Amino acid sequence: MMGRKTLFGVLRYIISWSVAMTLLISSVMFAATFFHTVRLQREDNIELIARTAAYSTEAAVMFGDDQAANEILKDILNKEEICRITLYAEPQGNVFANAEKPCDSTSDAFFSGVTKRIDVKHKEEGQDGERLLGAIEIKSQDSKLYKTFLYHGILVLFFCLILAVLVARVPARWMEQRFSSELHALSGMAHAARLEGDFTRRLPSFEIAEFNGLGQDFNALFSEIQTRNAELAIRQQHLESVNRSLSSMAMCDSLTGLANRACFGEQLEIAISKARANETKVGILYIDNDHFKDINDSYGHSAGDSLLVNVGKRLSGAVRDSDLVARLGGDEFAILLTTVSGEDDLRHVSNKILAAMARKLRLAEREGVDVELGVSIGMAIFPDQANDGLSLLRAADQAMYRAKRLGRGRSCMYDPSVDAGLGG
């Protein structure tokens, strides 16, 4: 595909051709006028020669001296740019005298010479009228003159056209230099906005009124865009903050700050999908506080809330950073172990949790009152004991209920032969 033309290239082309066409038309009109003027002057000159010849040969015709007439005609032929001069005698119109030289043969009326015929008359004394003696006919030799003029005119015109094109480049260059800086500033600003998103640039005042108006419009537009972008950035930050707050509220437990049931279920499904693809295992610990209802009833809801917060902190301290601790609701917690090799890993974590819960909690609401944080833990592994997240969570829940029946403050691994049908 051909490249697009530049503005300066088009301007140089227009200026050059405008000057050349103006010069061409002017030259053609001048040449036509000059040629017509020269032809009229030539006709007048030939007529003057004819009158001179008629006057000079008047006596020779009257006395029948054709030899003298021939001499006169030859002398005129040699002095003037004519190719034939003929004297006709009246009344028969026979050739009385003639002088000629070779003429350029041409059938073109544009280059052909001028032909003039003048009567030879004699006025006698005592008579009012003139007696016709004969006629002089002259054929001019003009083709060489006209052709020379035409050829020279074409050469001069061609030279002037070349000179005009070269001269026209001067104003074109001047115009290019004058426009280029302002156009480059405009295009640079537009490119920065389109490619870099930079709307901070501003254009200075320009000398050319149209460019200056366009530049001021650009400045006003960019100022408005910059203001709107700032407003949008503030709104975006506000929305992101709100979204983070909403996400936190939607996925976090408001009391303990741990993940809630929805977040735990979502992360559990993701972990199981990865484990299924990588052929690895995922473990779950389902945890229930053994004394929550008694403490909540005896010391109030604030004491129960303090117990839940403290349990959450101790659970988080007993697991790795990569593991997920969640409060499922009430006094029920769950821990997601994303990478385990077998049941021993779950038992190791459960033992750490039981050890962490062995320390009593002193209630801030009741001075001098210490309460126990005993918990029961149920454990299950994917894919050994369940094929999906819901089944895995249910299996761990059933194992937790078996741990409560066995005396609480302990952990149990899910056993389908024993735990089937158990659960809250």
SS3 150: helix
Q: Which pairing describes strands 411-413 and 375-382: parallel, antiparallel, or unpaired?
A: parallel
SS3 339: strand
Query: Catalytic: 44?
Result: no
How is the beta sheet containing 82-89 ordered, strand by strand?
Answer: 94-100, 82-89, 131-140, 115-122
Cα radius of gyration rounded to whole Å, the chain: 60
- Please provide residue 136's backbone torsions phi and psi, each rounded to the nearest 5 degrees: -105, 130
Give the residue among 212, 213, 221, 159 at the shortest CA–CA distance from 193: 221
Q: Are 176 and 35 contacting, i.e. CB atoms less than 8 angstroms apart?
A: no
| Beta bridge pairs of residue 325 | 335
Q: Are 6 and 14 contacting, i.e. CB atoms less than 8 angstroms apart?
A: no
E strand or H helix at 262: helix 261-278
Catalytic residue among 323, 331, 397, 419: 331
Give the residue among 169, 165, 180, 164 at the shortest CA–CA distance from 7: 180
In whole angstroms, what is the distance from residue 181 CA to residue 166 CA? 24
Query: Encoding tokens for residue 250?
Result: 């939607």
Torsion of CA 202, 206, 208, 209, to 10 degrees: 60
Q: Are 161 and 18 contacting, i.e. CB atoms less than 8 angstroms apart?
A: no
Q: Are 409 and 415 contacting, i.e. CB atoms less than 8 angstroms apart?
A: no
Query: Encoding tokens for residue 23?
Result: 């010069």
Give the residue among 374, 375, 373, 385 at the shortest CA–CA distance from 413: 385
Q: What's the burial of 113, exposed, middle or buried (CB within 10 Å: 0-12/13-18/19+)?
A: buried
In whole angstroms, what is the distance from residue 279 CA to residue 207 CA? 74
Q: Which residues contact 57 (CB under 8 A, 6 or more apart)?
A: 69, 72, 73, 87, 97, 120, 134, 136
Length of the chain, please?
Answer: 424
Q: How many CB atoms lie within 10 A of CB 96?
A: 24
Q: What is the set of active-site residues?
A: 331
